[in-house]
């Protein structure tokens, strides 16, 4: 007989370890999950932040207890990933971890030969560790010749994801996907294609953003968990779109909405530069408007616009007075965000987490220069 099954007692389950988390409270380790949204709402930005953060031990504003290498299958939008990773580095103040691995192709996930090639390519870069996360960007590009509306073809794709998980040591697999034309039974947007996808995944996460087609700095995004196979549904996770100067122009990245970097993201690059000059010159000391103007390098209406924007973002405060008695001050959040954006650690690998799960960065720093 070629087929053998193993039976255990239900009581034996007591001896199994408790569930481990990839992202604390949000994504369990080793699961199959889908992140879906309309086109242009930031799926790639959001997933890229996850893939870059997991080796450091933090992502989406949470700790990552099961940290490790990551593998990103860039079947879509590969040409823009350099500028996006540059923006991630600039905003987060640290380099992309060396064990975040990218495959610049669109493998057919359901094809055994393609699965083997994905594993080979990853092992060539990281030979001695299993990934904690695999991102498939997107289902459409990595689906092969099948029809995602057919349950049989969707099962083939899901089995391919399961095969990758088994061969790569049990990482979580996050599949990026698009919203379908129909709605779920609750009237909410659902994943495009066969309903077999939602039935198969452990978690389904919808990414919502602004109604307009393109993201802008300061836009708010929300991760809503619409399916959780085990446990309570987490509350929505709020994210903010941040902009950074990168070689050749500017690009975007995504940060937690309560992160100081999210506040900094609400300023245009020229106003961020002005804020940095004010912080360097005046620190957090309450100062006259004329001193702020002199330190910022701006004049006239430009400094007024800068002050209004910085106050609205919570990066500066005033004493509530008018005229000569008015005093303005840079906030500690602004100092923290500027410091993070301007300093990046030299790293030959991911830093070790402290006891709370947050990364402990090296003391030596160097100056950091369609989803």
Look up the CATH number of the domain holding residue 247. Answer: 3.40.50.300
pLDDT digits (tens, 9 = 90+) for 27-63: 999 999 999 999 999 999 999 999 999 999 999 989 9
Looking at residue 91, what is its pLDDT? 84
Residue 74 pLDDT more than 90?
yes
Stretch 293-306: mean pLDDT, rounded? Answer: 91
Look up the CATH number of the domain holding residue 269. Answer: 1.10.10.10
Looking at residue 366, what is its pLDDT? 27
Residues 241, 275: one domain?
no
pLDDT digits (tens, 9 = 90+) for 208-246: 999 888 899 889 999 999 999 988 999 999 999 988 889
pLDDT above 70 covers a percentage of the chain that reads 89
Residue 362 maps to a domain? no
Query: Bigger pLDDT: 338 or 32?
Result: 32
Structural contact between residues 249 and 229, judged by C-beta atoms closer than 8 angstroms: no
> For residues 328, 329, 334 and 339, what is the CA-based torsion angle, rounded to 10 degrees?
130
For residue 62, give its domain range.
16-259
The rounded distance, in Å, linking the Cα atoms of 219 and 239 is 8
Residues 214, 69: one domain?
yes
Taking the alpha carbons at both ends of the chain, their separation in whole angstroms is 48
Residue 362 pLDDT more than 60?
no
Looking at residue 8, what is its pLDDT? 92
Number of domain units in the chain: 2
Query: Bigger pLDDT: 85 or 358?
Result: 85
Residue 129 pLDDT more than 70?
yes
Residues 198, 297: one domain?
no
Residues 223, 299: one domain?
no
Nearest alpha carbon to residue 207 among 38, 26, 25: 38
Residues 25, 48: one domain?
yes
Residue 355 maps to a domain? no
Residues in CB range of 158: below 8 A, 6 or more apart? 32, 196, 197, 200
Task: Examine the fold and report which residue of 213, 243, 259 is the final residue of a domain before the chain moves on.
Answer: 259
Looking at residue 243, what is its pLDDT? 86
Residue 360 pLDDT more than 70?
no
Residues 102, 173: one domain?
yes
Mean pLDDT of the chain: 87
Looking at residue 183, what is its pLDDT? 60
Residues 214, 248: one domain?
yes
Q: How confident is the model at residue 2 (pLDDT cuts 50, 70, 90)?
A: confident
Residue 353 maps to a domain? no
Looking at residue 371, what is its pLDDT? 57
Residue 6 maps to a domain? no
Stretch 311-329: mean pLDDT, rounded? Answer: 87
Residues 304, 230: one domain?
no
The rounded distance, in Å, linking the Cα atoms of 251 and 233 is 33
Residues 247, 270: one domain?
no
Residue 40 maps to a domain? yes
Q: Is 330 helix (H, G, I), strand (E, B) or coil?
A: strand
Query: Bigger pLDDT: 187 or 177?
Result: 177
- The beta-strand segments (E) located in the chain are 21-23, 27-28, 32-37, 58-59, 62-63, 70-74, 100-103, 133-137, 172-183, 189-191, 203-208, 220-228, 237-246, 249-256, 316-318, 328-330, 343-345, 365-367
Residue 312 maps to a domain? yes
pLDDT digits (tens, 9 = 90+) for 100-128: 999 999 999 999 999 999 999 999 999 99
Looking at residue 115, what is its pLDDT? 97
Stretch 97-101: mean pLDDT, rounded? Answer: 96
Residues 275, 217: one domain?
no
Q: Specify the range with the lowest mean pLDDT, choosing from 106-120, 161-175, 182-196, 352-366.
A: 352-366
Residues 37, 72: one domain?
yes
Task: Examine the fold and report which residue of 216, 241, 259 is the final residue of a domain before the chain moves on.
Answer: 259
Looking at residue 56, what is its pLDDT? 93
Residues 49, 168: one domain?
yes
- Residue 60 has a CB neighbour count (10 Å cut-off) of 21
Residue 355 pLDDT more than 80?
no
Residue 286 maps to a domain? yes
pLDDT digits (tens, 9 = 90+) for 131-148: 999 999 999 999 999 999
Nearest alpha carbon to residue 46 among 242, 313, 265: 242
pTM: 0.77
Looking at residue 322, what is its pLDDT? 81
Stretch 79-107: mean pLDDT, rounded? Answer: 91
Residue 176 maps to a domain? yes
Q: How confident is the model at residue 346 (pLDDT cuts 50, 70, 90)?
A: very low
């Amino acid at each position: 007989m070629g087929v053998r099954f193993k039976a255990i007692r239900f009581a034996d389950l007591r001896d199994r370890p408790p569930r481990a988390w990839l992202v604390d409270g949000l994504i369990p380790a080793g699961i199959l999950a889908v992140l879906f949204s309309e086109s242009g709402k930031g799926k790639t930005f959001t997933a890229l932040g996850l893939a870059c953060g997991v080796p450091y031990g933090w992502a989406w504003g949470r700790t990552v207890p099961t940290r490790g290498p990551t593998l990103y299958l860039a079947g879509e939008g590969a040409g823009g990933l350099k500028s996006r990773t540059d923006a991630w580095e600039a905003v987060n103040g640290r380099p992309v971890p060396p064990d975040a691995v990218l495959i610049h192709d669109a493998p057919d996930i359901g094809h055994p030969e393609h699965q083997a090639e994905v594993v080979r390519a990853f092992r060539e870069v990281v030979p001695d560790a299993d990934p904690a996360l695999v991102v498939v960007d997107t289902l459409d590009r990595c689906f092969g010749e099948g029809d995602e509306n057919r349950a049989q073809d969707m099962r083939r794709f899901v089995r391919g994801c399961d095969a990758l998980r088994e061969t790569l040591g049990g990482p979580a697999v996050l599949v990026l996907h698009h919203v379908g034309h129909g709605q779920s039974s609750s009237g909410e947007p659902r994943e495009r294609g066969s309903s077999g996808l939602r039935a198969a995944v452990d978690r389904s996460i919808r990414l919502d953003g602004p109604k307009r087609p393109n993201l802008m700095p300061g836009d708010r995004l929300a991760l809503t968990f619409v399916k959780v196979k085990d446990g309570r549904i987490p509350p929505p996770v709020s994210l903010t779109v941040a902009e950074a100067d990168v070689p050749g122009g500017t690009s975007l990245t995504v940060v937690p909405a309560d992160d100081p970097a999210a506040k900094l993201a609400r300023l245009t690059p020229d106003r961020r530069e002005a804020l940095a000059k004010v912080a360097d010159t005046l620190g957090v000391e309450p100062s006259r408007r004329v001193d702020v103007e002199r330190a910022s390098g701006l004049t006239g209406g430009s400094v007024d616009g800068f002050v209004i924007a910085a106050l609205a973002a919570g990066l500066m405060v005033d004493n509530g007075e008018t005229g000569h008695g008015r005093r303005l001050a840079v906030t500690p959040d602004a100092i923290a965000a500027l410091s993070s954006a301007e300093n990046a650690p030299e790293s030959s690998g991911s830093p070790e987490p402290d006891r709370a799960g947050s990364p402990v960065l090296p003391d030596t720093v160097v100056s950091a220069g369609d989803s």
